[in-house]
Amino acid sequence: MSEKSGIRSNEEGTVSSPFEITSEVEETRRERFEKLYDTYVHTPVEIIWSDWRARIGAFILVIYLLMAIVGPSVVDPVRTGEGGALVQPFTTAEFPLGTDDQGRDLFAMTVYSARPMLIMMFSGAITTIAVGTGAGAVAGYRGGWIDNVVSAITDIFINIPGYPLVMTLSLLLPISGNPVLIGILISVMAWGGLSRKMRSQVLTLRNESFIEASRSIGQPSRLIVWKDILPHLMPYAMINLASTARRIIFTVAGLYFLGILPYGDPNWGVMLNRSYQAGAFYRPQALHWFLIPAVVIIVIGVGLVLLSQSLDRVFNPRVRARHEKRTDSKSPMEEL
C-alpha cells in the first residue's frame, strides 16, 4: 500500500473503495474548538463590529436588554400618586420622564414594560421563524400531497384577516397576560408569508448535487431536510429574524393600543392607549405622556432595522472569507 495515496489494499491486492480513504492528519479537540469559535463567534462579531449600522443596532438592543433584565432590580415599582399629576419631563431628578395624570412615574413604567414587551417580541419572532422555516422546508422538499396540504394551510393563514383572528383567539385561549403566549399568538399572523418564501428557496435547492448525493446513499428525508436544507436556509432565516421581531413589537403595541389584547400590568401599548383616551396627544401639558412610549417603540424598531441590514454581511461568503483570512494568521484563542 502506498502511504502517499492513502488508498488501502486488501489481502488479495485489490484496491478498496476510495470512500474508505481517511485523512492522515487528525485535528485535536482544541483545534476543532478554535475552528468552531472562529466560524460562529469571532468572524460574525468582527463583521458586525466593522459595520456602523450593526454597532448602533446592537447598542440599542443591549440598552433595551439591560433595561428589561437589570432595570426592575434598580428602579422602584410603579405606584399611583407617588408624584404630582402630569409632571413635565427633565424637570426633576425624581421623575426624569415626568408623570401621567395619576402621578405615576413614566420612567418606571417604561422600564417595567421592557421585560414583557421583549419577551413577547422574541417569543413571537422565534416562533414565526421556526414554524415558517419548518413548514416551507418540508413542503418544498417533499412535494406531492404534503406540499398541497401545507400550502393550503399556509394560504388559509395568509388570507385570514390578522387582527380579527388574534382578537378571537385572545378571547378563546386562556393567555391571561402571559407574554410568551401572547408572542406565540401574534406569530399566527406572520408565519404564512415566511413559509411561502422558504418553500420557494427549497424548490431551488432540492435538485442540487449534494441533495441528490444524500438521496442516493439512502439518507431519510428528515435528515436531508435537517442536515442539508435547513443550514442553507439559516442565513435567510436569521436576516428575517430581526425584521420579524420589529414587526412583532409594532403589532403587539398596536394591539394593546387598540384594546384588542387584554391587559393588566402597564406596557408601552397600554401607555399609548391610556394617554390617547386622556387626550394627551392634543393637550400640551400631557403630550410627553403620549410621546415617551411612542419614542421607545420607534427607537427599538430603528435598532432592529439597522441590525437586520447588517446581518446580510455576516452571511455574505466574500465578506466572511475576507475576515477569516485576517484570523488565519493568528489563532482566535491567542487573540483572547
pLDDT tens for each residue of the chain, 336 residues long: 444 444 444 444 454 554 455 555 566 777 777 777 776 677 777 777 788 888 898 899 999 999 999 999 999 888 888 888 899 999 988 999 999 999 999 999 999 999 999 999 999 999 999 999 989 988 888 888 988 999 999 988 888 887 787 877 777 777 767 889 888 888 888 888 889 989 988 888 887 888 888 888 888 878 888 888 887 787 788 888 888 999 999 989 988 898 888 776 778 999 999 999 998 888 899 999 999 999 999 999 999 988 887 777 776 656 656 655 554 444 444 444
C-alpha cell at 26: 487528525
CATH number of 31-335: 1.10.3720.10
> Domain boundaries in the chain?
31-335
C-alpha cell at 90: 427633565
CA 19, CA 6: separation in Å to the nearest integer? 11
CA 230, CA 136: separation in Å to the nearest integer? 10
The predicted model scores a pTM of: 0.79
Running DSSP on this structure, what letter comes out for residue 28?
A: P
Beta bridge partners of 9: 15
Beta bridge partners of 66: none
CA 297, CA 250: separation in Å to the nearest integer? 7
Work out whether the CA dihedral 160, 202, 134, 260 comes out positive or negative.
Answer: negative
